[in-house]
Chain A
């Protein structure tokens, strides 16, 4: 690590200007903060978090619709745990549950299907959030439901694709990013080649890395080496898991059930071909049609800067709500709720960097 640290400092001096790197994966965000990777960074090199946390990029309208659906008597909401405490217009799923809504935390989409099999008299709706990593599991759940001829299972889809989000950030003149630490888990599914256009069309270095502190640090050094040349290449430092063409079985599952479509993102808004729509032949498993869901407007919580945080415009520490009004116990925005959110990672591991006395607010448990 000391060698990497020295090389990074030397490269930063050579480059002679501030360098902004972005990690686009919630697990990278958390592991970097948790292992203290930031303490190795020279002042001129900044590692910022991108839209890599599935819960954080989920549009407010989706959260609101999910909570409203949860309040219906005949419905069971099956959700990943991280969604539970995200605040919507009428409270969170956790609040709805305390008021009697049947909300079950599942660790996989198939568990949601099992819930439907065990509760034939109830309608089970699975909140399908996540990137290419969780989409194959949702696809597999829908196929299982179809094979089992289940009539009481549906999916409220909010899957997102990583590449369109990266392109959107690069097209925004206000956001200057010099290189990407590419998400390891996503690459395992999609293959490393999908980052090719980022390198070719946008001339930004991309390095695919695993999740250990050493790997993250190595990825940072490889990015900064490219920037120092300067050049833009796709490097894969996670070849043991992320093949260049990815996992064909997972891709086939996605293709069979989904088709790229318009998706609404927090902060990035609506983008064509940035999400996954359920194909018409599996239409009866789409909760939107099945339950006649109409999405409302995306109203961000007042004062919350999550939208800026997930686009790298500001850091959690820059938000005036951080650690004072907004804490993991009383979260205002999704980045503080999710265990992969950058606000929560900063709160847990880097709160001491906050200059204001609010950093000393006691966390009541």
Chain B
């Protein structure tokens, strides 16, 4: 199928066919050009027995039991950034949402919304990134869709993925299981994704940095954790939008139990912290795409921490907080200098500071 697409390009070497370099509206029209896109670009990378059937739905067998089902749309700007792109994000995001529910992700759907004029080379890069991230996560794209909108009506590419996973029997997760004494672990350095993306934007004052997004599928790490600690793992959540602050303040509020977090234990890269300071943003509020917050019974804390640290995605994991027996639903942080303050869920757009 690749050959057919390549030959279409090859026939017009002197007068380059614009269709062969950029996405045109007809690529989303359901006709021959759509076929060319699907067969030439998508299937060679993502093809499998379910996708290749090209039916209106993917049909597959399920085991008896429960399933997890999740969806997420990705509109990140810019679409490519250090450490990842909208493709790796679209796979990791949905895989992680399924995995933190205690399910084993199996199948994804992939819906592409492309802007007219999008370079096909760019699209190929994104599709290759989807391919490699899906392979890393061990999930298959079982069904998909492509639409093209006129130039200016989308920002290059938007992706929606939905996914299903099979629930593990040994995962009993929920904020209602949180008890006084439980510990809170974070699987690695926070705020890397959000800041790496923000620094790519025009309004970032041209701050140069080595920062890379942490976008990665966490189902392997989470599987290790559940295999080793089972029901001692009480709750899992990936701190995406809203950052670590969103997760820990929700944990305290929804459990009704006071959570004390030690700021000095929160894994944070020096360069991330520096970038956050320059932009006037609290790293606690910044999105992560390859981290998980774990609530674990105190007796399993050490085991969970060593399992996390043995995994390549959890090397910088640390234990950052503990639920006390005060039932006020507040999350309190002990700051670097030993001061105390509460942690609040961020409430929306972060605005640049002016002074």
Q: Which residues of A are interface residues toward B (Cβ below 8 A)? A: 1-2, 25-27, 33-40, 54-55, 80-82, 84, 105, 107, 129-131, 133-134, 185, 213-214, 217, 327-329, 339-340, 347-352, 360, 362-363, 365
Contacts and interface: CB of A to CB of B under 8 A. Distances in A.
B84 to A, nearest CB: 25
22 contacts: A1-B338, A36-B340, A38-B341, A39-B340, A80-B352, A105-B352, A107-B352, A107-B354, A130-B354, A130-B355, A131-B355, A185-B355, A213-B336, A214-B337, A340-B355, A349-B341, A351-B342, A352-B342, A362-B253, A363-B347, A365-B345, A365-B348
Contacts of A362: 253
A39 B329 contact: no
A363 B253 CA distance: 11
Nearest to B258: A352
A338 to B, nearest CB: 9
B203 A36 contact: no
Closest 10 CB pairs of A and B: A36-B339, A81-B351, A80-B354, A349-B341, A213-B337, A39-B340, A36-B341, A36-B340, A36-B335, A35-B335
A349 B342 contact: yes
Contacts of A80: 352, 354
Given A80-B354, A82-B351, A349-B342, A34 B335 contact: yes
A81 B339 contact: no
B348 A329 contact: yes
A350 B339 contact: no
B225 to A, nearest CB: 28
B342 A350 contact: yes
Nearest to B281: A339
Interface string B228-268: 00000000000000100000000001000000000000000
Nearest to B285: A348
A26 B335 CA distance: 20
Interface string B309-348: 0000000000000000000111011111111111011111
Nearest to A81: B351
A134 B328 CA distance: 42
B354 A134 contact: yes
A173 to B, nearest CB: 30
Nearest to B333: A36
B347 A82 contact: no
A105 B351 contact: yes
Interface residues of B, number: 30
Contacts of A214: 337
A217 B351 contact: no
A131 B354 CA distance: 10
Contacts of B339: 35-40, 213
Contacts of A340: 353-355
Contacts of B335: 34-36, 213
Contacts of A84: 351
Question: Max chain A CB contacts within 10 Å: which of B280, B329, B342?
Answer: B342
A87 to B, nearest CB: 16
B347 A54 contact: no
B344 A347 contact: yes
